[in-house]
Structures are given as structure tokens and as C-alpha cells.
Amino acid sequence: MSTFRFGTVAIAGRPNTGKSSLLNHLVGKKLAIVSPKAQTTRRSLNGILTTADCQYVFADLPGYQTRHVNVLNRVLNRQATNGARDCDVAVLVVEALRFAAADREVLARIPRDRKIVVAVNKIDLVRNRLELLPFIERLQKERRFEAIVPVSARTGRNLVELLRVVGALLPEGPAAYPAHQLTDRDERFFAAELLREKLFQLLGEELPYRCEVALESFHEKGRLRRIEATIWVERDSQKAIVIGARGALLKRISSAARKDMERLFGGKVYLGVWVKVKRDWSGDAGLLRQLGFG
Ligand SMILES: Nc1nc2c(ncn2[C@@H]2O[C@H](COP(=O)(O)OP(=O)(O)OP(=O)(O)O)[C@@H](O)[C@H]2O)c(=O)[nH]1
Ligand SMILES: [Mg+2]
């Protein structure tokens, strides 16, 4: 009989390289929120995949960033750094044909003795595949990597190979979770995250960074879940934008979030959403702790 392997796999990288998309495709379920904007992920989550001979615990981490400085960004960077340290294997996600200072910063924070596999993501966007070879050769000069695997989190290309390579690096050991368990987070977590995802997807360039979501209540009665949430913004003017003319934008946001929640939870959802102002929440360590940031 072959041996069973178990381990944690940190998915690290600078913002927007496709870490959350990769986690979702690897576990086969959309758990992590995704948007075209950088710094979508603010709270790490584990996605668990159990195969015949391996249990992987993938940790989706916030993108490590150096462009903006405030208390929230420091908290996110700390999460990213700690996550890449506390794992058996780190998967460093980079974008195909792009490796620059921001990627190097992330790599520098992964301890020297950590096993690293580089996932060169978004290869579906590379027209000439031959260009990947010199790119991979350049990557090899950055650090001793266990492997460099070109993938696409969008199409799923080569993810089986990524799983094989990562699985072989995990230590031998028994599974820590039941085989059907997909994540360590509960429905409350996903409810708040799905609402925040809609803010990233439906608001303009800057506003999502001024917004945070807090769950007020979550009640399950039969197959109906009654969920109430607050969207925190930093100013009255932002509140007016999020609500929109006659509440139209807020209605679109809530309705999109509700549909995703119903899909994920497999039951009807009543969702009530309020928009409130908390001045400078992203710069206030006390408020951030109340909002659940460690
Ligand atoms: N074309 C293409 N786009 C991708 C691929 N993977 C992710 N994307 C897109 O890249 C954008 C960022 O994806 P995310 O998964 O949110 O990236 P992330 O690294 O988790 O970003 P942060 O949480 O902000 O650090 C989204 O628009 C995704 O749809 C891919 O393989 N191909
Ligand atoms: Mg993400």
C-alpha cells in the first residue's frame, strides 16, 4: 500500500496573481473571493482537498504588497508573511512573463529552508508558449525551487501536475480532516466575504478599499438563512455612492451577494444590508480588531 501524505500548502504571491482563483480550482469549489482588483483577499482561508493518497490544506493568503501603507495593509502583510512561514510547502504564484521587484519581495519573506514550488499562472494569456522557457530559466536564478509549473487557474491547465508535484513534497502522515470537509471556515465567514466580493466587483476603482463588511446576525430556520450585514465606509459621500440613486446600487450588490450565498449554502437566503460610516476604519488598530483582524 502506498503511504498517505498530509500537509499545509501556503499559496503566496504579490496581489492579483490569481492565488484565490487557484485555490478555488484546486479544491473544485468557489470558496475564496476573486476580483480583477488587487488586494481582494483580506482574510486567509483554508481549502482542503482529499485524494486517495493525500490531504492538502491550501491556505489562500492576502497578496503581499508594498505600495500602500496603513494599519490594514500592515495587518494583511503580516498575515501573508506568517502564512508563507507556517506551512510545509509554499506555492509562489507569479504571473506568466512577469517577475519583478514586488514578486521578489514576497520570495524574500519565505524562509530559506521552506520548500517552494512556483506556479507560473495565467499561461492562457501567453500567445507564444516558447516565451515561457527563457522566463522559467530566469526564475531558476532567483532561488532553488523544488519545481516550476506553468498553469492556468482560469482554464485548469496543468493543475493536476501542480497537485502531483506538491503532493510528493508533503510529509507522510494521516489526514487531519474528514475527507468531505472543504474548508476550516463557517457559513458566517463566507456570507461576509461574498458580500465584500460584490463590492470589489461592482464598485469603482478606489471605493472597495474604503469598504469593509461585518456580519451582524446569522439565523438558520429550516432551509432559510436570515443574514444581516453592515458595509462600513469611511465617509458620508462614500455611503451615498454605495447606496446609489434610490438605493439601486445597494440593491444590485445585495442581490448578487444573496444569489451567491444561496448557491454556496444550497438554500434560500434573506439578506439585509446596511451601510454605515466608521471614519478611518482602515487606519485604526482598535476598530480593525473589532472587525476581526488579528
Ligand atoms: N486569464 C487569466 N486570468 C486569471 C487567471 N487566474 C486568475 N485570473 C484573474 O486574475 C484576477 C485576480 O485573481 P485573484 O484570484 O483574485 O488573485 P489574487 O492573487 O487572489 O489577488 P489578491 O487577493 O488581491 O492578492 C481575476 O480577475 C482573475 O479572474 C488565469 O489563469 N488566467
Ligand atoms: Mg486573493
At 213-231, the pLDDT tens digits run 999 999 999 899 999 999 9
Cα-to-chain-centroid distance, residue 218: 23
Q: Quote the pTM value.
A: 0.96
Cα-to-chain-centroid distance, residue 118: 17
> Does the pLDDT value for residue 53 go beyond 80?
yes
State percent of the chain over pLDDT 70: 99
Residue whose Cα lies nearest atom 27 of ligand 1: it is 36
For the beta carbon of residue 246, count every other beta carbon within 10 angstroms. Answer: 8
Closest approach atom of ligand 1 to CA 65: 25
1 confidence band (pLDDT: 50, 70, 90): low
pLDDT for 58-90, tens place per residue?
999 999 988 878 899 999 999 999 999 999 999
For the beta carbon of residue 185, count every other beta carbon within 10 angstroms. Answer: 16
Residues 16, 25: Cα–Cα separation, whole Å: 16
pLDDT of res. 287: 85
> Does the pLDDT value for residue 23 go beyond 80?
yes
Task: Write the DSSP symbol of residue 115.
Answer: E
Ligand nearest to the CA of 40: 1
pLDDT of res. 290: 85
The SS3 of residue 188 is helix
pLDDT for 267-278, tens place per residue?
999 999 999 999
Q: Is the CB of 44 under 6 A from ligand 1?
A: no
Across the chain, what does the average pLDDT equal?
Answer: 96
Specify the residue for cell string 453592515.
230
pLDDT of res. 270: 98
Q: Is the CB of 282 under 6 A from ligand 1?
A: no
Q: Is the CB of 63 under 6 A from ligand 1?
A: yes
Residues 98, 92: Cα–Cα separation, whole Å: 13
Measured between alpha carbons, how far apart are the two ends of the chain, in Å?
Answer: 43
> Does the pLDDT value for residue 9 go beyond 70?
yes
Phi, psi of 187 (to 5 degrees): -65, -35
Residues 139, 130: Cα–Cα separation, whole Å: 15
Closest approach atom of ligand 1 to CA 155: 31
Q: What mean pLDDT is predicted for residues 174-186? A: 97
CA angle 28, 34, 37 (to 5 degrees): 155
> Does the pLDDT value for residue 2 go beyond 80?
no
Ligand nearest to the CA of 37: 1
Mutate-to-test residue for ligand 1 from 34, 58, 132, 202, highest number of ligand atoms within 8 A of CB: 34
> Does the pLDDT value for residue 108 go beyond 90?
yes
